[in-house]
Amino acid sequence: MSDQQAPLLNAVDLKKYYPVKQGIFKPDAEVKALDGVSFTLERGKTLAVVGESGCGKSTLGRLLTMIEVPTGGTLDFQGKDLLMRDPESDKLRRQKIQIVFQNPYGSLNPRKKIGQILEEPLEINSDLNKAERKARALEMMAKVGLKTEHYDRYPHMFSGGQRQRIAIARGLMLNPEVVVADEPVSALDVSVQAQVLNLMMDLQQELGLSYVFISHDLSVVEHIADEVMVMYLGRCVEKGTAEALFNDPQHPYTQALLSATPRLDPEHRRERIKLTGELPSPLNPPKGCAFNARCRHAIDKCAHEQPALKTYSDRQIACFVVEEQG
């Protein structure tokens, strides 16, 4: 099935286990950074992936862009298996899926001018000549709100917001269909965050892009997300439309995350739930539901069994308390 009907991206049970050395007398252990995550991404839509630091978001981003190979699971782009190592899959991966990172300081080479940074992907992956590459770079700079005279400047001469615009422009140089944005605005001031988010939404409209938008901060994704996947210790605990999750969060973890984000609309302002303790180590995950020790609704069962992700009318949730309430 490789046609327009297939979802743009389809991930099934993606896993990434990292081997870790534990010293000379202990056997090597495994970190289950990502432990069975599934989703589909439709054309022109945004899937937000949220959760505290350490829950596996960046690991997922690296698998989607094939910076790393999954330990298990499948990943298709319009019905084409991306995990196959053949020229067609390689080309799809390189061109159709791009990643934009949080840190525009670290990800832009300080010794290269903006023009060079933008043209680099074209040198490797296109047949365009020098003049055509420059024209394309200038065109993309205009799209992201940079000026022509910025072409010959170095990254350090720009503000954080401008650097993030450069990083976005670079990600778009090969006309990707999917952009994985890993905390694209997390390093920016709140006022600048909104500008970059608006730019990303405009570009999505104009270019028909699909986003996997990764953020530890739920408030950032409210306006950009169509779907939200909430992750906890390498697994999805709740997934549904942004509307469903923001207006009526069901998993106790989603509720706690959302209660910590500022809400302007008084109707949706809710009781503040304090999330105590820390994310447990994926090297030594708790028995039962990974969230049980921090959950204010936990029942006996939660400490012993791991809840499966179940489908309800408008979403999926992995929680025994929700299950019992029906």
Q: Could you list the residues that contact ligand ADP (CB under 6 A)?
A: 18, 20, 31, 33, 51, 53-59, 282
At its nearest, how many Å lie between Mg ion and the CB of residue 57? 5
User: Does residue 98 belong to the site contacting Mg ion (CB under 5 A)?
Assistant: no
Q: Which is nearer to Mg ion, 214 or 225 (CB)?
A: 214
At its nearest, how many Å lie between ligand ADP and the CB of residue 273? 21
At its nearest, how many Å lie between ligand ADP and the CB of residue 207? 26
Number of residues assigned to the chain = 326
Q: Which is nearer to Mg ion, 231 or 298 (CB)?
A: 231
At its nearest, how many Å lie between ligand ADP and the CB of residue 50? 9
Contact of residue 164 among Mg ion, ligand ADP, none (CB under 5-8 Å per partner type): none
Q: Which is nearer to ligand ADP, 61 or 121 (CB)?
A: 61
Q: Which is nearer to Mg ion, 57 or 315 (CB)?
A: 57
Among 8, 11, 32, 58, binds Mg ion (CB under 5 A): 58
Contact of residue 59 among Mg ion, ligand ADP, none (CB under 5-8 Å per partner type): ligand ADP
Q: Which is nearer to ligand ADP, 20 or 308 (CB)?
A: 20
User: Does residue 65 belong to the site contacting Mg ion (CB under 5 A)?
Assistant: no
> What x/- string results for residues 18 through 57 when contact with Mg ion is judged by CB under 5 A?
---------------------------------------x
At its nearest, how many Å lie between ligand ADP and the CB of residue 172? 23
**Distance between CA atoms of residues 4 and 286, nearest Å:** 42
Q: Which is nearer to ligand ADP, 174 or 260 (CB)?
A: 260
**Distance between CA atoms of residues 150 and 52, nearest Å:** 36
Contact between 159 and 150 under an 8 Å Cβ cutoff? The reply is no
Q: Which is nearer to ligand ADP, 63 or 188 (CB)?
A: 63
3-state secondary structure the chain: CCCCCCCCEEEEEEEEEEEECCCCCCCCEEEEEEEEEEEEECCCCEEEEECCCCCCHHHHHHHHCCCCCCCEEEEEECCEECCCCCHHHHHHHHHHEEEECCCCCCCCCCCCCHHHHHHHHHHHHCCCCHHHHHHHHHHHHHHCCCCHHHHHCCHHHCCHHHHHHHHHHHHHCCCCCEEEEECCCCCCCHHHHHHHHHHHHHHHHHHCCEEEEEECCHHHHCCCCCEEEEEECCEEEEEEEHHHHHHCCCCHHHHHHHHCCCCCCHHHCCCCCCCCCCCCCCCCCCCCCCCHHHCCCCCHHHHCCCCCCEECCCEEECCHHHHHHC
Contact of residue 288 among Mg ion, ligand ADP, none (CB under 5-8 Å per partner type): none
Q: Which is nearer to ligand ADP, 54 or 73 (CB)?
A: 54
Contact of residue 312 among ligand ADP, Mg ion, none (CB under 5-8 Å per partner type): none
Q: Which two tokens stand for residue 168?
A: 């976005």
Question: Closest by alpha carbon to 240, among 192, 310, 137?
Answer: 310
At its nearest, how many Å lie between ligand ADP and the CB of residue 279? 8
**What residues line the site for Mg ion (CB under 5 A)?**
57-58
